[in-house]
A and B are shown apart, each in its own frame.
Chain A
Amino acid sequence: MSSLRSKSAQDISDLLDEYRIKHGPVVDSTRSLYEKKLKEAMAKGKPKESCDKTYYREEEEVTYEYSTPVRSEGAVNSGSYMRSRPEWREREFEHEQSYSSYSRPTPEYRGRDFVDEPSMYDKPSTYSNAYMTPTPMKSPEAPKAANSSRLIPLWVQFVFFLAVAAFLYLVFSSMESNDSFKAIE
């Protein structure tokens, strides 16, 4: 990478930002120091930024998958959860064979869903179990895409709304049955 010498000061500055190296202006007296730092960083091979991009691309892919019909959503959800949140893997998949089928690339997902479901899930309970587990994460109609841009996850908002609605209904229905109190008065 001796081409660092020929780069402009702006290029050096951009490269330093890419490698997340804290730096000041690239002037004559600082240039050689920054070139040396860049050489070290390149030798270590820290492609941090490209890793971040990959992560975001995965999230984009996850978003896209949620436009499929509800029926396969449960199965698709489980798989995509597996990809973007590895810690859910162990909880959602009791059978390792179903795990391996979901490690296939995205385009094959939807085609295989309907084919593999009967064979992958021996008992309906397993499927419903896998379907139920994502439910606490979100309600069926809410896309996960919004999750990344919200402070409070969308599913939490829905659950909270339902809880408030249920509570209000309880209060209302108990008020209705307060006729007995009026009789006492």
Chain B
Amino acid sequence: MSSTSQKHKDFVAEPMGEKPVGALAGIGDALGGRLEEKGFDKAYVVLGQFLVLKKDEELFRDWLKDTCRANVKQQGDCYGCLKEWCDAFL
């Protein structure tokens, strides 16, 4: 995708390590806070959820919507970011 944000590019450029959940593309302060409340305080925890949902786009989008009320664009950005990261590092 040519229209990926800088955040996306930064995230997929290297292993995520201990990066906070706010480092994910599409996840800003508000969504990040909601995710942290639910226990998803690190990017790798969201990665874990992504993998448990078998990297399926629809399931992951639904889960994001339910968990932190992400809108369609935010869902897409986060999914794309994690997918690309997995393609590169997993």
Tell me the dominant secondary structure on chain B's binding face. helix
- Please name all residues of chain A whose beta carbon is closer than 8 Å to the beta carbon of B13 when the two chains form the complex: none
Report whether B52 and A24 are in contact in the complex, using a CB–CB cutoff of 8 Å: yes
Interface size of A by CB at 8 A reads 11
Report whether A30 and B62 are in contact in the complex, using a CB–CB cutoff of 8 Å: no
* The residue from A24, A27, A32 contacting B66, defined by CB atoms under 8 A apart: A32
Interface size of B by CB at 8 A reads 10
Q: Is B29 an interface residue (CB 8 A)?
A: no
Distance, CA A22 to CA B55, complexed state (A): 11
For chain B, residues 3 to 57, give those with C-beta under 8 angstroms from any C-beta of chain A: 49, 52-54, 56
Distance, CA A30 to CA B56, complexed state (A): 13
Q: Which residue of A is nearest B65, CB measured? A: A33
Report whether A25 and B66 are in contact in the complex, using a CB–CB cutoff of 8 Å: no
Tell me the dominant secondary structure on chain A's binding face. helix
CB 8 Å contact bits of A18-29 with B (1 = contact, 0 = none): 000011110101
Distance, CA A29 to CA B63, complexed state (A): 9
Q: Is A71 an interface residue (CB 8 A)?
A: no
Report whether A24 and B53 are in contact in the complex, using a CB–CB cutoff of 8 Å: yes
Shortest CB–CB separation between residue B49 and chain A, in angstroms?
6
Report whether A22 and B59 are in contact in the complex, using a CB–CB cutoff of 8 Å: yes
Q: Which residue of B is nearest A25, CB measured? A: B52
Distance, CA A37 to CA B63, complexed state (A): 10
Could you tell me which A residues sit within 8 Å of B by CB distance?
A: 22-25, 27, 29-30, 32-33, 36-37
**19 other A-B residue contacts (CB within 8 Å) besides A24-B56, A33-B59, A33-B62:** A22-B54, A22-B56, A22-B59, A23-B54, A23-B59, A24-B54, A24-B59, A25-B52, A27-B52, A29-B49, A29-B52, A30-B49, A30-B52, A30-B53, A30-B63, A32-B66, A33-B53, A33-B66, A36-B66
